[in-house]
Structure 1
Amino acid sequence: MPSTPKIGDVPGEFRLSGGQLSGGAFHLGDYSLHEQRGNPVVLAFYPGDDTPVCTAQLCSYSDGLEQLQSAGAVVWGISAQGIDSHERFARARQLRMPLLSDPDRAVARSFGITAPLIGLRRSVFIIDAGGRLHWKHVTAVGATFPPAAALASQLATLPV
């Protein structure tokens, strides 16, 4: 299994299907890391839709979305569940950021965060506008996550 990228590394390109709740509709699309060059990207990997800690994490990021976006950041939630599950989760919790599906965990593997039993370790990566890893938080067990305010603080340290 690959190790997690180091600060300053350029993570590999990926494209995942996902959707975003907006105006009552769940808009489907493909999301490419490469196409976000020029913007910081927050990648929030989480083990599963509608689980207690994952719900708290994604609700925190959705509630703090304006704060994260004010730093120019794009925020994506990524897990192995399919698009239908993501849509139900987004609607039930009014989550406003795109939720991406990594069904075979290929992207999670490329970030070195797959784990037995839970599928992947709860992890957050901030990629700077140039495509380099600026900051990461990878849990061993997955019961904690950095709140949106902590992510905003990290985004504030990015060069403008």
Structure 2
Amino acid sequence: MSIRHGLLALLDRGPRYGYQLRVEFEAATGGTWPLNIGQVYTTLARLERDGLVEPGGADEQGRAVYAITGAGREELERWFGTPVAPGDRPRDELVIKIAMAVAGGAVDVAEVIQAQRAATMRALQELTRTKRAATGGLAERLVIDSSIFKAEAEQRWLDHCEAVSKEKSS
């Protein structure tokens, strides 16, 4: 999820000030995507420049609030209506690492796989603990579930890599 669209989604629920957006963004993502307050205000400035949000005055404590514009709602609808393509996601460093280990030949591929497997298992255990302790509602649970499913898929892929590399070496 882009920070830009995440902030628009929060502003679609009503005007918000920067720190409020940061807290709500982190709560909605189960804390898996922490934001620096500077990122929030930089993104708000760009959204304002692009006509997607506008300053909405100040709240009772004098904090500057922002509101989504009609163009912002249209952008948000477009974003929600557009599937995320695999090519839109960042490159996977683990895939590159395993590929380079296999291609290089000087690295023990099994050791690389085993080290990652152990790290992924620790992450999976921590995610399971986090899920049990979660109190943030459905949005937080879905974010944590996504991370769990990705870790489980990574474990299956590592098993596959190990099996295929053993086949090739025999």
**TM-score class, shorter:** under 0.3
Structure richer in strand, relative to its length: 1
Structure richer in helix, relative to its length: 2
User: What TM-score comes out, normalization by structure 2 length?
Assistant: 0.27
Greater relative CO, 1 or 2 (CA 8 Å, sep 6+): 1
Structure of larger gyration radius? 2
User: What TM-score comes out, normalization by structure 1 length?
Assistant: 0.28
